Amino acid sequence: MTNELAQLEYAIAEIMEIADGFGLDYYPMRYEICPADIIYTFGAYGMPTRFSHWSFGKMFNKMKMQYDFGLSKIYELVINSNPCYAFLLEGNSLIQNKLIIAHVLAHCDFFKNNLRFGNTNRDMVESMSATAERIGRYELLYGAETVESFIDAVLGIQEHVDPQLIKPLRYDKRRQTEEKLRRMKEAQSKPPRGGAYDDLWELDGLGTGGSSGTGAGAGAGSGAGSRAGSAAKPEAPLPFPPEPEKDVVWFIQEYSESLEDWQRDIMSMLREEMLYFWPQMETKIMNEGWASYWHQRILREMDLTSEETIEFAKLNASVVQPSRQSLNPYYLGLKIFEDIERRWDHPTEEEVRRYGREPGKGREKMFEVRELDSDLSFIRSYLTKDLVRDLDLYIFEKQGPEWKITDKTWEHIRDQLVASRVNGGAPYIVVQDGDYLRSGELLLKHQYEGIELDLKYLERTLPYVYRLWGRPVHLQTVVEEKPAMFSYDGEKHFRKML
């Protein structure tokens, strides 16, 4: 073993001991030292073992070029898995590696303990490798171009999955859907009954009754209560899907009539991959903030030479450096975590009086936050007025040809940040009707919340959906505050204002 590697191992052991002392709780670690092009490959694919697609090649090319030109540098890459894989850039100095190792440990602690990651597959490295192999075989069977253009289409809607953590009926969405349909049918044949809040029973029935696997009979009061509260006309066709379906990928994969088995297989595999990556998108600010907080704290405990201290400070500064271009998640997350620590360590008199907060509970509170929150709740609950002012946050938007600061009200800034993180930043789109116009067409609906869709992208994505669904597709959204419908029938686009 080379001297360098021995030094690194020694440092890792030391860092782990310090991390243990702080109470970080991580998986066994596998550190792998890789040359730059390998790190950048993994960075582009998000995983060491992912399937092949030109879009990853495009990303790789872009990232590698930025590296070659010295514009950006990835020092590490960490995979949410058990054991946890972390890839270190070959040529990192020892002190750089120390920072990175501490940083990575905190990421791993976050993966292991944050609730959003509760359902993620910790063997995803192997799963993705199996997926890659399977897609490779499909390429042999059906032609690389056929598979490629199919994947193009799937990737076009890949964000539209349903990442909810609580899944009734043991994850079996198809049974869940059929169950809902059956109940609706039942409800139609019986006269509607009573109260305005009856539909709440419905939720109850699905949530608890579902988990027992038998459906209607099990939930408390579900027998009578499960009737639809609204007065459905008996002859009206049942809506399909019974409720707007958030998981567009799943819906198409399950109910499209034009897909072949291998295509459904690819869709379901890509959907699994998206569901795996989703929590990382949902906790970007927290996760980076948490890791930055801990690499600082851990390195402070270490015996560094003065050169090391300076190099560490430089690297640390470059990581958490605020950026004018976009919010640096490392910085924002770090500042919020530090603020939480301060406020729970030294609560104000009012906080003590009103909430019974005891001083000195900063760390404890931080660990609680890292377990329970995602970026949405993290920002909503812990981005305070003082922080917004200290960080000099603002809202900017485009007015004419200029990008202007338009608002500095702290509540607005907080709410805007939250809004931008909803659904991982992607538009919220649901399947409204899988049998639109009663001719098997697909109606998607954009749940408009004040931000319009990019129409150019919209019109270029619809053909992808068409390719998957095999029949005309429609998307309902809002343009210039008026409802609008975009359609594609395989040859032509149609737009109409509603």
Partner 1 sequence: MSSFQPDKANFIVSKEDWSLHRKGYQDQQRHQEKVREVIKQNLPDLVTEENIIMSDGKQIIKVPLRNLEEYRFIHNFQKQKHVGQGDGDSEVGDVLAQDSPKDAGKGGKAGDQPGADVVEAEISLEDLEDLIFDELELPYIEDKNKEELESVSFRFNDIRKKGLMSNIDKKRTILENLRRNAISGVRGIHGISPDDLRFKTWEDVRLPKSNAVIIAMMDTSGSMGAFEKYCARSFFFWMTRFLRRQYEKVEIVFLAHHTEAKEVSEQDFFTRGESGGTICSSVYQKALDIIDGRYPPSSYNIYPFHFSDGDNLTSDNDRCIRLIGELLERSNMFGYGEVNQYNRGSTLMSAYRNLKQDRFMYYVIKEKGEVYRALKHFFHKREKEARS
User: Which residues, 95 to 154, sit near partner 1 by CB under 8 A?
Assistant: 152
Among residues 184 and 473, whose Cβ is nearest to partner 1?
473
Query: Is there a contact between 417 and 432 (Cβ–Cβ < 8 Å)?
Result: no
- Least Cβ distance, residue 416 to partner 1 (angstroms): 5
> Which one of residues 442, 453, 468, 484 is an interface residue with partner 1 (CB under 8 A)?
453
Among the listed residues 254, 233, 376, 294, the one whose alpha carbon sits nearest the alpha carbon of residue 24: 294
> Which one of residues 137, 457, 494, 495 is an interface residue with partner 1 (CB under 8 A)?
457
Among the listed residues 428, 445, 443, 388, the one whose alpha carbon sits nearest the alpha carbon of residue 412: 388
Binding mask 249-268 toward partner 1 (x if CB under 8 A, else -) reads: --------------------
Among residues 30 and 190, whose Cβ is nearest to partner 1?
30
- Least Cβ distance, residue 35 to partner 1 (angstroms): 6
Among residues 156 and 205, whose Cβ is nearest to partner 1?
156
DSSP state letters, 271-332: HHHHHHHHHHHHTHHHHHHHHHHHHHHHHHTS---HHHHHHHHHHHHHHH---SSS--HHHH
Among the listed residues 135, 116, 125, 99, the one whose alpha carbon sits nearest the alpha carbon of residue 8: 99
Site size for partner 1 (CB under 8 A): 84
Told to check if 45 binds partner 1 by CB under 8 A, we report: yes
- Least Cβ distance, residue 378 to partner 1 (angstroms): 14
Rule CB under 8 A: which of 70-99 touch partner 1? 90
Among residues 218 and 479, whose Cβ is nearest to partner 1?
479
Which residue carries 């799943």 as its tokens? 250
Told to check if 181 binds partner 1 by CB under 8 A, we report: no
Binding span for partner 1 by CB under 8 A among 178-186, 203-211, 355-363, 401-409? 401-409
> Which one of residues 396, 490, 494, 495 is an interface residue with partner 1 (CB under 8 A)?
396
Told to check if 56 binds partner 1 by CB under 8 A, we report: yes
Q: Residue 397: phi, psi to the nearest 5?
A: -150, 175
Residue 443 pairs in a beta bridge with 433, 474
Among residues 169 and 281, whose Cβ is nearest to partner 1?
281
The DSSP call for residue 51 is: P
Burial class (CB in 10 A: 0-12, 13-18, 19+), 80: buried
Among residues 184 and 458, whose Cβ is nearest to partner 1?
458
Rule CB under 8 A: which of 473-492 touch partner 1? 475
Rule CB under 8 A: which of 271-330 touch partner 1? 322-328
Distance between CA 423 and CA 213 in Å, rounded? 29
Told to check if 22 binds partner 1 by CB under 8 A, we report: no
Distance between CA 349 and CA 29 in Å, rounded? 43
Among the listed residues 287, 374, 376, 388, the one whose alpha carbon sits nearest the alpha carbon of residue 334: 287
Binding span for partner 1 by CB under 8 A among 155-163, 253-261, 338-346, 488-496? 155-163
Query: Is there a contact between 101 and 92 (Cβ–Cβ < 8 Å)?
Result: no
Spell out a b/e string for 197-206, using b for 16 or more CB atoms within 10 Å of the CB, else e: ebeebbebbb
Told to check if 495 binds partner 1 by CB under 8 A, we report: no
> Which one of residues 185, 314, 342, 460 is an interface residue with partner 1 (CB under 8 A)?
460
Among residues 41 and 176, whose Cβ is nearest to partner 1?
41
Among residues 17 and 307, whose Cβ is nearest to partner 1?
17
Length of the chain: 498
> Which one of residues 307, 368, 371, 397 is an interface residue with partner 1 (CB under 8 A)?
397
